[in-house]
């Protein structure tokens, strides 16, 4: 349903700082696939997401969503079908507005009733039910300003907002990286269950190699603006974290390096032991 053909993006073209962030990305994603994306710092993961979401237009290549060429469709138009969540919990919501108002805004996505009341009784009840499913007791704090919530709570609400209308494509850019491990696991679990329940086609960037292999059905590894590994099915199931790191070292001639990299303690020891 999503097809990327030869995407290329160069930052600061024609300057000394010219940087080829995407160097020909080809990717076919089927309906309902949950794909995790890993790679070192600066590999181009976020750039790829920005290209798909339409933050900028690529200088070469095509993006086709559900058979429609959206290469030059503007960002806010694409947002009707594509939801995204960022690493920074502050980015996904308006801190000065209340929880209910933030959800109302997400709910208005693609809606044409610009002059209907944003917080009608019917909508408030719906939002309350959705919030109750997060199990964070937020349904009783709907008039609290978003800025007063903790990072984990904000990210959970952002997840709710991103999926309140089921999107065709969900892009998660390290959305748990800024949270403490326990909260991160909780938000990740929420993500898994929402995605599975509604069969949402999802791409998730993560620095947690373990989560990358255990979440979803397919894993991509990026390096220097290219996809260097595409794992699924049996090969993926057989792959352990050290295996994956070894593959990376073999392909790139250096250790996978990411400042936010998280490995299980035991496996971490393992990696360092073998070096």
Partner 1 sequence: MAFFLDSVQLGLEYALMAVGVFITFRILNIPDLTVDGSFTLGIVISSVFAVGGHPFAGLLLALLGGALAGTVTGLLHTRAHIHPILAGILTTYGLYTVNIKILGGPNLSLLNSKKFFDVITAAFPSMSRSAAQAIAIIVVCAAVVVILNLFFKTVAGLCIQATGNNEEMVRASSINTAAVKVGTFALANALVALSGGLLAQYQGFGDVSSGSGMVVIGLASVIIGEVLFGHRSILIGLISAVCGCVIYRIIIALALHYNLFSANALKLLSAVIVAATLSVPPLKGWIAGRLARRGA
Ligand X SMILES: Nc1ncnc2c1ncn2[C@@H]1O[C@H](COP(=O)(O)OP(=O)(O)OP(=O)(O)O)[C@@H](O)[C@H]1O
Please give the residue ranges that form the binding site for ligand X (CB under 6 A).
11-12, 19, 21, 39, 41-47, 258
101 touches, from partner 1, ligand X, Mg ion, none (C-beta below 5 to 8 Å by class): partner 1
Which range in 80-88, 180-188, 222-230, 253-261 contacts partner 1 by CB under 8 A?
80-88
Ramachandran category for residue 72: left, alpha or beta (phi over 0 → left; psi -120 to 50 → alpha): alpha
Residue from the set 46, 81, 155, 163 that interacts with Mg ion by CB under 5 A? 46
Tell the smallest beta-carbon distance from residue 247 to partner 1 (Å): 34
Site string for partner 1, 95-134 (x = CB under 8 A): xxx---xx-xxx-xxxx-xxxxxxx---------------
Between residue 208 and residue 237, which ones bind Mg ion under the rule CB under 5 A? none
Closest CA to 54 of 218, 169, 160, 176: 169
Q: Which is nearer to partner 1, 27 or 108 (CB)?
A: 108
186 touches, from Mg ion, ligand X, partner 1, none (C-beta below 5 to 8 Å by class): none
CB 35 within 8 A of CB 219: yes
Residue 48's alpha-carbon distances to 126, 163, 171, in angstroms, are 34, 21, 10
Find the farthest-apart pair of alpha carbons in the chain and give their distance in angstroms, rounded. 63
| Tokens 């309140």, located at residue | 164
47 touches, from ligand X, Mg ion, partner 1, none (C-beta below 5 to 8 Å by class): ligand X
Closest CA to 69 of 47, 54, 90: 54
Residue 130 DSSP code = H
Q: d(Cα 97, Cα 101) in Å, to the nearest integer? A: 6
Between residue 132 and residue 171, which ones bind partner 1 under the rule CB under 8 A? 161
Q: Which is nearer to Mg ion, 46 or 153 (CB)?
A: 46
Q: Which is nearer to partner 1, 118 or 261 (CB)?
A: 118
């Amino acid at each position: 349903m999503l097809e990327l053909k030869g995407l290329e993006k160069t930052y600061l073209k024609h300057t000394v700082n010219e940087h080829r962030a995407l160097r020909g990305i080809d990717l076919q994603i089927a309906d309902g696939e949950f794909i995790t994306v890993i790679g070192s710092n600066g590999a181009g993961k976020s750039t790829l997401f920005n290209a798909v979401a339409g933050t900028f237009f690529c200088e070469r290549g095509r993006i086709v969503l559900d058979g429609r060429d959206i290469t030059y469709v503007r960002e806010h138009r694409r947002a009707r079908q594509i939801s995204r969540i960022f690493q920074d919990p502050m980015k996904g919501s308006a801190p000065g507005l209340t929880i209910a108002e933030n959800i109302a805004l997400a709910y208005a996505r693609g809606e044409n009733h610009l002059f209907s009341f944003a917080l009608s009784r019917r909508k408030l009840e719906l939002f309350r039910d959705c919030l109750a499913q997060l199990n964070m007791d937020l349904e009783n704090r709907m008039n609290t300003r978003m800025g007063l919530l903790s990072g984990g709570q904000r990210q959970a609400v952002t997840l709710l907002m991103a999926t309140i209308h089921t999107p065709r494509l969900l892009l998660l850019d390290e959305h748990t990286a800024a949270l403490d491990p326990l909260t991160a696991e909780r938000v990740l679990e929420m993500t898994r269950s929402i995605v599975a329940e509604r069969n949402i086609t999802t791409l998730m960037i993560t620095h947690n190699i373990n989560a990358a292999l255990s979440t979803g059905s397919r894993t991509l590894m990026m390096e220097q603006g290219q996809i260097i590994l595409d794992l699924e099915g049996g090969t993926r199931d057989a792959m352990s974290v050290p295996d994956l790191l070894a593959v990376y070292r073999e392909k790139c001639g250096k250790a996978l390096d990411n400042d936010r990299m998280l490995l299980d303690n035991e496996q971490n020891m393992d990696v360092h032991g073998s070096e």
